[in-house]
Amino acid sequence: MNCYDFELNITPFLDGELKQKELTTFRTHRESCTGCKSKLESMKGMLNCLKDIKPLTAPNDFNVKLHHKITQIENRKLAKKWNLLELLPFGMRPLHTMAFGLSLVLVLASSFLLLTVDKVPVVNMDKHNQANTSNPFKQAVPQTQNQGFYTQSATQDTNTTDSISHPKNFPGATPPIHLVKKNN
């Protein structure tokens, strides 16, 4: 064993973790090398000093200060709860109430409008054919039961439906889509 290996094995030796063979080699080197022996003794002394360091005790008023801080934390938690309660309708501040109410109305109104809009556009072949001669938007479109913005014309007959699937006038081309705007 050389001095470098001896140094690496000092802690395992002091912890009693060296195997028998390693222990023998360690002890042999210790007896033969005064420098390493001195290093080992010095290490033992240093560890004893570290263990003998007088332990500190926490200050006498530590508990009092700690519990004071804990009380502050608890009070802050309660204050947060009260702040949350202030957001409820009973006891709301005027500006907050107005802002909350307005935003609620806007959300409900926009949801209502979105839900009542017809998503599927109506294909009205008859109206499109008539558009070649007259302005379709000037024609009065009879009301139907459908409440959406875009609706089917009441004059639509089954031929229109047939014309969608089996277009008569446009055997090979894609029929144009004619949207009829609902008059309010």
Partner 1 sequence: MEQFEYSDEELIAMFQDGDTQAYNQLVFRYKDRLYNFIYRFVNDLDKAEDLLQDTFLKLYTHKHSYREIAKFSTWLYTIASNLAKTELRKLRRRRTYSASDLSRDNREFVFTTQDDQTFSGEDGASLGKNLQAALNALPQDFKTIIILRDIQELSYEDISKIVGVPIGTVKSRINRGRLKLQKLLINKGEKVN
Q: Catalog residues that contact partner 1 under the rule CB under 8 A.
A: 7-8, 10-12, 39, 41-43, 45-59, 62-63, 65-66, 69-70, 73
Give the nearest distance from C-beta 10 to partner 1 in angstroms: 7
In the bound state with partner 1, the residue whose beta carbon lies nearer, of 43 and 179, is 43
Nearer to partner 1, 7 or 157 (CB): 7
Q: Residue 82 CB, nearest distance to partner 1 (Å)?
A: 20
Name the residue nearer to partner 1 (CB basis): 11 or 24.
Answer: 11
Look at the alpha carbons of 126, 128, 134, 139 in this order and tell me if their dihedral is positive or negative: positive
CB 179 within 8 A of CB 150: yes
Nearer to partner 1, 56 or 95 (CB): 56
How many angstroms separate the CA atoms of 108 and 101, rounded?
A: 11
Least distance in angstroms from the C-beta of 1 to partner 1: 15
- Residues 6 or more apart in contact with residue 30 via CB below 8 angstroms: 6, 36, 37, 40
Residue 181 near residue 124 (C-beta atoms within 8 A): no
Residue nearer to partner 1 on the CB measure, 54 or 119: 54
Task: Annotate 57-101 with DSSP letters as a single string.
Answer: ---TTHHHHHHHHHHHHHHHHHHHHHHHHHTSSTT--HHHHHHHH
Task: Report d(CA 34, CA 65) in Å as an integer.
Answer: 55
Read off the tokens for 64. 């009092």
**Least distance in Å: CB of 40 to partner 1?**
10
Cβ closest to partner 1, residue 52 vs residue 115:
52
Question: Which residues does residue 150 pair with via DSSP β-bridges, in sequence order?
Answer: 181
Fill in the DSSP letter of residue 150.
B
- The distance of closest approach from Cβ of residue 71 to partner 1 in the complex, given in angstroms and rounded to an integer, is 11
Q: Provide, rounded to whole angstroms, the least separation between the CB of residue 22 and partner 1.
A: 14
